[in-house]
Amino acid sequence: MPSVAEEAALSHPWQSKPFRNLTMGHATSSFGNAFSPVALAFAVLHLGGSATDLGIVLAAYALAQVVTTLVGGVLGDRLPRSLMMQGSSAVLSLIQAFVAASLIGGWSSIQLLAITQLLAGCVGALSSPSSQAATSQVVPPELLPRAVAIRRLVNNTAMVLGFGAAGMVVAAVGSGWAIAVDAATFAVAAIFFSLLRLPPVTPSADKPSMLAEAVAGAREVFRHTWLWALIVQALVYHLFYGGAQGVLGPIVVKDDFGEAAWGWALGALMVGFMVGGLVTLRWRPRRLVYAGTILLGLTACFPAALASPVGLTWVLVGAFLHGFGLEIFSVNWDVAIQQNIPPEKLARVFSFDVAGSFAARPIGLALTGPIAQMVGFHAWLWVVAAVIVGTLLLVLLVPSVRRLQRLADGPNDPVAVAPGD
């Protein structure tokens, strides 16, 4: 962590060595992770699985994330966050290497993929809150908004490259080698995280029990109406959208345009994230949550494009707009949490954000296949788009969502502060 003197000398987040290690570690693993959803989707289909089977494999990963992330949030406020990230990356590298070997060796199965992704979800969720909360430990407060935007931009750029290559790698040499790339990048990420030196936020003598800390984190979430209202909206969003992208997307695009096209669609999604991140480096709206929530409505464009007989070009445009709107919301959402939540509770609040937002995603992933087969894939994608727009219109009625304002980034940025209730 930078010393007080070092922090005072910083004029840009990238001048902080801990920030560079944190950002590059996360970006490296994200590059490999971009291969995983593409490879797993086609691995299940090549093993003879159906849309329901694919949904179950993805649901196993999502369920593990939801269950474990709350524990990860508590541990991230008790233990050195660098240790959490390093250990998680190392174990994930071993898990994905095992999956890759099973696929390359021809002895994998849908059941094996479901079990290993359950384990991967648990391990990854343990470090996710620490990764999000660590940003505020490696840069001074006045550089935090820019650091959040830069970190997400670098991460999304890595995923753009990963998604762009994933479809071609799977088509050329198979899913097993694509998963092997993911395993290798986790190993490299563990090295970056080992260079971080982040102490526990709360001294050990001041720590209550893990249950008490979890309850305190929940109370902090419910103390902010804008926070829990948007978490509820995200819960409904992921209930419907998770299956639309994870289950129906690869099947619809594969049937209409071929396997490689799904990698292009995910690449377009990530280009949208990247462009949105560039916008947030310059555009910092005062009512940051309100502006972000409005642009979040663009996420309906992707399922709408998948549902329409408009051709691959418009599917790519819909994916781009989805990523663009979601990224602007995500940066402002991240900044709002980091600026309004005490540092010693950040990992727990981020864990409740993830757990609450994704709690219903495993259900959506498991049920999307059967429901879509009954009503039709394209009809269900239209339902998903309508739900996204409808829930956002409802959450915009919450006063604190419209009123919460960004804190000043520095002495030359006079931004008024609205109550964070």
Per-residue CA distances from 395 to 234, 381, 388 (Å): 10, 22, 11
* Domain membership of residue 286 as a residue range: 13-403
Q: Which pLDDT score, from 0 to 100, does residue 166 have?
A: 79
User: Is 411 contained in some domain?
Assistant: no
Give the residue-averaged pLDDT of 262-268.
Answer: 80
User: Is 19 contained in some domain?
Assistant: yes
pLDDT level of residue 419 (50, 70, 90 thresholds): very low
User: Is 200 contained in some domain?
Assistant: yes
Q: Which pLDDT score, from 0 to 100, does residue 420 have?
A: 43
Domain of 42, CATH number, reads 1.20.1250.20
DSSP 397-413: TSHHHHH--PPPSSTT-
User: Is 2 contained in some domain?
Assistant: no
Q: Which pLDDT score, from 0 to 100, does residue 51 have?
A: 66
User: Is 193 contained in some domain?
Assistant: yes
Share of the chain above pLDDT 90, in %: 21
Among candidates 153, 155, 150, 181, which has minimal Cα distance to 168?
181
Tokens of 175: 């899913």
User: Is 25 contained in some domain?
Assistant: yes
User: Is 113 contained in some domain?
Assistant: yes
Q: What is the pTM of this model?
A: 0.71
- Quote the CA–CA distance of 266 and 248 in Å, as a whole number: 13
CA angle 219-131-322, nearest 5°? 90
Number of domains making up the chain = 1
User: Is 154 contained in some domain?
Assistant: yes
pLDDT digits (tens, 9 = 90+) for 56-75: 776 777 677 777 887 777 78
pLDDT digits (tens, 9 = 90+) for 179-238: 898 899 999 999 999 888 776 665 545 567 777 887 888 888 889 999 999 999 989 998
pLDDT digits (tens, 9 = 90+) for 284-320: 898 999 999 999 999 999 989 888 877 888 889 999 9
